[in-house]
Amino acid sequence: MRPANDAPYRLIRDVEFGDGVVVYSFTNLYGCVIGDRTQVGTFVEIQRGARIGASCKVQSHAFICDGVTIGDRVFVGHGAMFVNDKTPRAALGNGELLSDADWELLATVVGDDASIGTGAVILGGVTIGAGARIGAGAVVTRDVPAGATVAGVPARRLAARPGAPDADLLTSTGRGAPPGR
């Protein structure tokens, strides 16, 4: 299956597309899975082994690498980057370039309905829970609970959103929004 639209200057190889997927110009997609009705913006790279759910929006300049699984209805902001290796290196001590066997792939999972802000960096091996929000420019170094909002470098939890699964817990322990908010 091919994308639902036609656009110039796309590298598309061994991609499993769902129905109604839209892929804009200047993209590199190879060996990945992209779910129904998802939109992939310009200058996006999605590598082999990555899986994107249905009804997602991946904005321009995003990089989604091997080992990343993104749920349904997820927003990935402009320039968001995923990392799948905590100790990246180019070569061994003797100068020999590393191969795929010389590093450990760290899987990352993004739950349904999450939102990842512009310029966020998601390190490998983390899980972002369903409905979580990642602030623009955040560097996510550890798991983010469902419904949580995080921001900063490194990303830290902000006050609970009304209706979030743990909103009552956060405000009752004094770690959330001030009373009356």
CB 19 within 8 A of CB 37: yes
Catalytic residues: 78
Q: How far apart are CA 33 and CA 26, in angstroms?
A: 18
**Do strands 156-157 and 149-151 pair parallel, antiparallel, or not at all (unpaired)?**
antiparallel
Residue 170, SS3 per DSSP: helix
Residue 168, SS3 per DSSP: helix
DSSP secondary structure, 22-76, as one string: EE-SSEEEES-EE-TT-EE-TT-EE-TT-EE-TT-EE-TT-EE-TTEEE-TT-EE
Distances (CA, A) of 11 to 16, 23, 48, 69, 181: 14, 10, 13, 21, 49
CB 52 within 8 A of CB 44: no
